[in-house]
Chain A
Amino acid sequence: MTRSALHLISDRAALPEDFDRLLDAAYRYAVSLTHEPGEAEDLVQDAALALLRTNAEWERSYLFVTIRNRFIDRYRRNRRIAFVALEQEDGTAVDVPDLTFEVRDVLETGALDRALAQLRAEEREALFLAVVEGYTADEIGKLTARPRGTILSLLHRAKKKLRQLLGGDGGATV
C-alpha cells in the first residue's frame, strides 16, 4: 500500500468521528518508537496536549511529527537513545526493500515483538511507517526530516536484522 504525499499531509482525522482511529494510529506509531506500551501512551498524551496548547488541527501527519518530537526530546534528555548517523546511500537504483519474506507464525509466539524490540527506534519507526502506514520512502523522509537514502538504509537494516532474528526461511529464532 502506498499513499501519496498529498494524502500524507492532508489526512485529517476530525473530531469526533475519526478521533478514536487517529488516537490508535498515533499510539501504534508511538509504540513503533518506544516499543513500550506505557511510554507510548504517555507520548500520545503529551502530543495531544501539545496540539491542544497550540490549537493545532487534529491532523494525522502533524500528530505523528509531534509524537516524534516528543519522543526525541524525552529520550535525548534521558540519554536512552542515540540517533546514529547513517551513511546515506546514493539510492539511485534502490527502492523500498522487499519486506515480504515469509516466516512462520512469529506473531502469536511473541517472536516478532521480541525481534522488533531488538531494532533501533529509527529502524522500527521506518518499518512501521513503510509496512503499516504504507508510506513511501519519500514520504517517510518528509515526515522524519531525513533523506530518502537514509530511510532506505534504515529499512534495509531493519529487514536484515529481522531476517536474522526471525529466520527468513520460516523459522522463528528469537
Chain B
Amino acid sequence: MSPQKFDEQVREHYSRQRLSDEGRDRIKAMIRKPRQSRSASRWWWARTGVAAVFVFVATAAALWFAVFRGNVPESPQEITAAVVRDAAEGHNQQEDLDFRAARAADLRRAMKSLDFTPVEPEIMRSMNMRLVGARYTTLQGVMAAQILYLDPKGEPCTLYQARPVDKLARISKSEHVIDGLRVSVWREKGLVMVLTRPVA
C-alpha cells in the first residue's frame, strides 16, 4: 500500500469513531425526558409562584383587615366598649402616677401637657371621692388624664378624662360591668368622662 499522509489517516481514524446507537438513543431519551420534566417543572413553579403570591396577598389583606379594620371599633357601641376595656385595664394595672395632688386645682396646674384642662365632675364630690394623683394616658389613641381617687372605703377608683375628639367623639353614655369593675361613661363640661370603680 502506498504511503499516505499521516494527518489524513488520523482524520480517517477518528471519522470511523461513532457513538453507538444505544448511546445515541440514551442521550436523546435523556434530552426528551428532562425537557418534558423541565417544562413541567417550570409550569409547576409558575403555578406555585402564582398561588404563593395569591396566598400572600390574601393573608396580608386579611391581616390588614383584622388589624386595621376588623378590630377597629367603628360604631358608638364598639368605641364605647373599647374605651371601657381600656379603662378597666388601666385601672387594674395601677401604673405609677405622674403627679400627686390633693386638690383639683393642683392637678390642673400640674398637668400642663394636656390639650384640655382637667375638671372634677360633680359625682366625685357627691361620692366623697378623695383625689390622690394622676398620670398621662390615652383612650383609643386620644390623650387623656388618668386620675386616681379613693372612695370612702379606701378603694381606688380611676377617672379618665379626654376631649371628645376622633373616636371619642362618637362615644355614648353608658354603664358597664367588666372584670369586677363598674365602668361609667358620660360627657360633662365638654369632656368625655370614664369612671372605673369596684362593683359595690
Contacts and interface: CB of A to CB of B under 8 A. Distances in A.
A104 B4 contact: yes
B19 A107 contact: no
Contacts of B6: 99-103, 106, 162, 166
A131 B10 CA distance: 7
Contacts of B35: 52
B9 interface: yes
Interface stretch (B25-33, B60-68, B159-167): B25-33
A104 B13 CA distance: 14
Interface string A127-153: 110011000000000000000000000
A105 B30 contact: no
- Chain A contact surface mostly: helix
B11 A132 contact: yes
Interface residues of A, number: 39
Contacts of B27: 23, 44-45, 48
A80 to B, nearest CB: 21
Contact of B17 (A27, A100, A103): A27
Interface string A18-47: 011001101110011000010011001100
A23 to B, nearest CB: 5
Interface string A78-90: 0000000000000
Interface residues of B, number: 28
A32 B23 contact: no
B14 A28 contact: yes
Interface string B15-52: 10111100110111011001100100000000000000
A132 B26 contact: no
A113 B16 CA distance: 12
B10 A55 contact: no
A112 to B, nearest CB: 5
Given A27-B19, A45-B23, A52 B13 contact: no
B123 interface: no
A174 to B, nearest CB: 13
Contacts of B12: 107
B19 A52 contact: no
Contacts of B18: 24, 27
Complex A-B, nearest 9 residue pairs according to Cβ-Cβ distance, in ascending order: A102-B3, A27-B19, A105-B1, A41-B23, A99-B7, A170-B3, A131-B7, A107-B9, A132-B14
Given A44-B23, A99-B7, 20 more contacts: A24-B17, A24-B18, A27-B17, A40-B17, A52-B35, A99-B6, A99-B10, A100-B6, A100-B7, A101-B5, A102-B5, A103-B3, A103-B4, A103-B9, A105-B4, A106-B6, A112-B9, A116-B10, A131-B7, A131-B11
16 contacts: A24-B18, A27-B19, A28-B14, A37-B20, A44-B19, A48-B31, A49-B34, A55-B38, A103-B6, A105-B9, A106-B9, A112-B9, A116-B10, A131-B10, A162-B6, A166-B6
